[in-house]
Amino acid sequence: MSPSAVPDTADTPSAMREVVLVTGISGSGKSVALHALEDAGYFCIDNLPPELLPAFLSIERNRFDRRVAIAVDVRSAGSLPHLLPLLDRLRGEGVAIRALFLDASTDALVRRFSESRRPHPLSTLPAASLPAGTDPASDGRRALVDAIELERELLAELREVSTVIDTSQLRPAQLRQWLRDLVGAQRGGLTLVFESFAFKHGVPLDADYVFDVRVLPNPFYIRELRPLTGRDAGVAAYLEAQPEVPEMLQQIGDFIERWLPAFEDDQRSYLTVAIGCTGGQHRSVYLAEQLSRRFAARSATLLRHRELDARE
């Protein structure tokens, strides 16, 4: 079946439940994601060639009680150029597809491949399997970093239309929980994701907006507040007493309020707002909590604390 050969309307899975498409950079945690979805009750398929997607969904159309998750990645490199048009066609036929893209920094990916001692899929992929115009190394193998960068190029367009999860700093347990939150979020409108983080561990790759709150007074330097977090009453009381904090909180909230309708009109599924401070413990956590409360009545919201969640 050719990539554009979608079944006739009579065979189109228009009444299917939502299909979760899991993709992303090799080494970013797709196996962990699939296992998490499987534990959540999804029927999961790994590395399904895109050409087979319409036929598979046509078969699934009569199984309304089964939730489906499908992983597609660079192992099907030759078919990737056909995937985006295919997804548009299927959505036009009424199939609800939620695309999740797992990403990670190059340093994190290199470390993971080194620890696992597994080759990158593109390092041994035959040249004939790559999209036209790709120039494989003359010896048939690629340096790991070169392979990762090539993979980013091949998946760039798919990343643009997906909900991105940065797994660079995530433990497997965190990724599993964040995935369950994402697939469990109410659909039908834009979901706001507020995420606190520490600049010393890097800016989240999945952030649509990043706000730096390191200029605010730091509770870390108050001895009794140092072991606490932005979720504790003592830290909240200290920050609320600093004039700059309510002002910045108001300005960030007003900015989001101003531009949220534009993102909704753009048919976005998620908007991730990342709030960063030095350690990801006090200021960023407090502001993310407050912003989540402000917008809870306005939109579906998810709340993440990257550094705090890593401790739990």
Phi, psi of 244 (to 5 degrees): -70, -30
Assess contact for 305 and 286: CB atoms under 8 A.
no
Q: Is 30 annotated as a binding residue?
A: yes
Distance CA 231, CA 272 (A): 20
H or E element, residue 157: helix 144-160
- Count Cα atoms within 13 angstroms, Cβ side, for 129: 12
Distance CA 67, CA 248 (A): 42
Q: Is 73 annotated as a binding residue?
A: yes
> In the chain, which ranges are E strands?
19-24, 42-46, 67-71, 97-103, 163-166, 191-198, 209-212, 270-277, 300-305
Q: Is 29 annotated as a binding residue?
A: yes
Q: Is 26 annotated as a binding residue?
A: yes
Q: Is 88 annotated as a binding residue?
A: no
Q: Is 28 annotated as a binding residue?
A: yes
CB atoms within 10 A of CB 213: 24
Phi, psi of 301 (to 5 degrees): -130, 150
Q: Which amino acid is at 67?
A: R
3-state secondary structure of 86: helix
Q: Is 168 annotated as a binding residue?
A: no
H or E element, residue 282: none
Assess contact for 103 and 164: CB atoms under 8 A.
yes
C-alpha R_g of the chain: 21
| Residue closest to 22 by CA, chosen among 145, 131, 167 | 167
Q: Which residues belong to the annotated binding site?
A: 24-31, 73-76
Q: Which residues are annotated as a binding site for ATP?
A: 24-31
Return binding residues for GTP: 73-76
